[in-house]
């Protein structure tokens, strides 16, 4: 059962790396098109988005590297392997996205005060292409499960919304003299992205600080374990996540004094099977009997 899960996790991890690599090449290719299109249409909005997409390409490349790097197994330097490097990529990308969004607001404010005329037809064509390309990258990443992918997917969502804003703005500005519309929409999108970045950073920092994963109820797990006939009580129970997907648990289990070695081994396997079903992939279990004095029970 454990081997099957490990195989499934590796398969998911390979898909995560592939998703990010596809998004990287899509985004980088379109950035070049954006720069050329922005110069041809004399659109500061498109050129600003091109600069932002260059940052996105850097972020995607870094996310791709970290996601591949995180596949490395445990060694003498990192006993849990390199899974948490994917989390590092998510944190760095969140910071880059935050800085990029602030930059967009900074650039948009002068354009609100002094709106600039642009080639609306060229903007419209580029916007349609932008929605298609960035939308394809976003949906590719949304199929993934890693926190790294979720953060990078937010980059793509920002780009899709940005291009939709340019699309709507180009149509409106074609029929009405409202060039101020584009920077106003850009500010709204940037604020939406900043809100989501803080949510992702909060989740990442919880993992770094070894908080109990939100989807796991440690008290309920303790109650379920004590319901086992052979278990008297549990204590020193700790649960955390390595990367937002791979969860780890350590606990001390007080068992009946008459359990022999074979029965203890069978019980340990039952506990591991139960914990795996509850979303805990790695469990370290220490058996004790009631006559033992555990100093950890007092302080933890």
Domain edges within the chain: 2-208, 218-299
Supply 294's token pair: 């555990």
CA dist 48 → 43, 119, 199, 241, 298 (Å): 9, 15, 25, 38, 59
CA gap 93, 55 in Å, rounded: 10
The CATH classification number of 2-208 equals: 1.20.1510.10
Beta strands in the chain (DSSP E): 231-241, 247-255, 282-288
Mean pLDDT of 68-89: 77
Band of residue 76 on the pLDDT scale cut at 50, 70, 90: confident
Residue 10, classified by CB atoms within 10 Å of its CB into exposed (0-12), middle (13-18) or buried (19+), is exposed
Residue 148: predicted pLDDT: 61
Query: Tell me: the pLDDT tens digits for 104-120?
Result: 888 888 888 888 777 88
Q: Flag whether pLDDT at 55 surpasses 50.
A: yes
**In the structure encoding, which two tokens stand for residue 292, read together?**
């033992």
Look at residue 9 and tell me whether its pLDDT is greater than 50. no
Find the angle CA(239)-CA(214)-CA(89) to the nearest 5 degrees. Answer: 85
| The two structure tokens encoding residue 14 | 């390979």
Q: What is the per-residue burial (b if ≥16 Cβ within 10 Å, else e) of 205-220?
A: ebbeeeebbeebeeee
From the candidate CATH numbers 3.30.360.10, 3.40.50.300, 3.30.70.1350, 3.40.50.10090, the one assigned to the domain spanning 218-299: 3.30.70.1350
Q: What percent of the chain has pLDDT over 70?
A: 84
The yes-or-no verdict on residue 276 having pLDDT over 90 is yes
Cα separation, 22 vs 230, in Å, equals: 51
Helix (H, G, I), strand (E, B) or coil at 294: coil
Q: What predicted TM-score, i.e. pTM, was given to this entire model?
A: 0.67
């Amino acid at each position: 059962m454990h081997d099957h899960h490990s195989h499934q996790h590796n398969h998911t991890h390979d898909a995560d790396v592939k998703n990010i690599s596809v998004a990287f090449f899509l985004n980088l290719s379109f950035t070049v098109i954006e720069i050329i299109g922005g110069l041809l249409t004399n659109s500061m909005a498109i050129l600003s988005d091109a600069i932002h997409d260059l940052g996105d390409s850097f972020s995607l490349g870094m996310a791709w590297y970290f996601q591949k790097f995180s596949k490395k197994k445990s060694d003498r330097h990192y006993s849990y392997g390199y899974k948490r490097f994917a989390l590092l990529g998510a944190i760095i990308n969140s910071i880059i996205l935050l800085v990029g969004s602030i930059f967009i607001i900074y650039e948009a404010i002068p354009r609100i005060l002094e709106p600039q005329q642009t080639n609306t037809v060229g903007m419209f064509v580029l916007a349609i292409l932008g929605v298609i390309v960035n939308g394809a990258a976003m949906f590719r990443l949304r199929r993934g499960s890693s926190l790294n992918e979720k953060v990078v997917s937010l980059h793509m969502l920002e780009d899709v919304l940005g291009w939709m804003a340019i699309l709507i703005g180009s149509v409106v500005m074609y029929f009405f003299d409202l060039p101020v519309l584009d920077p106003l929409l850009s500010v709204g999108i940037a604020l939406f992205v900043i809100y989501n970045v803080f949510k992702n950073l909060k989740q990442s920092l919880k993992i770094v600080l070894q908080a109990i994963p939100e989807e796991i109820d440690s008290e309920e797990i303790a109650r379920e374990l004590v319901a086992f006939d052979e278990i008297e009580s549990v204590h020193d129970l700790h649960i955390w996540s390595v990367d937002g997907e791979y969860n780890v648990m350590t606990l001390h289990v007080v068992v009946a004094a008459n359990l022999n070695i074979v029965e203890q081994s069978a019980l340990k396997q039952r506990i591991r099977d139960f914990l795996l079903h509850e979303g805990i992939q790695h469990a370290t279990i220490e058996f004790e009997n009631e006559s033992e004095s555990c100093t950890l029970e007092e302080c933890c």
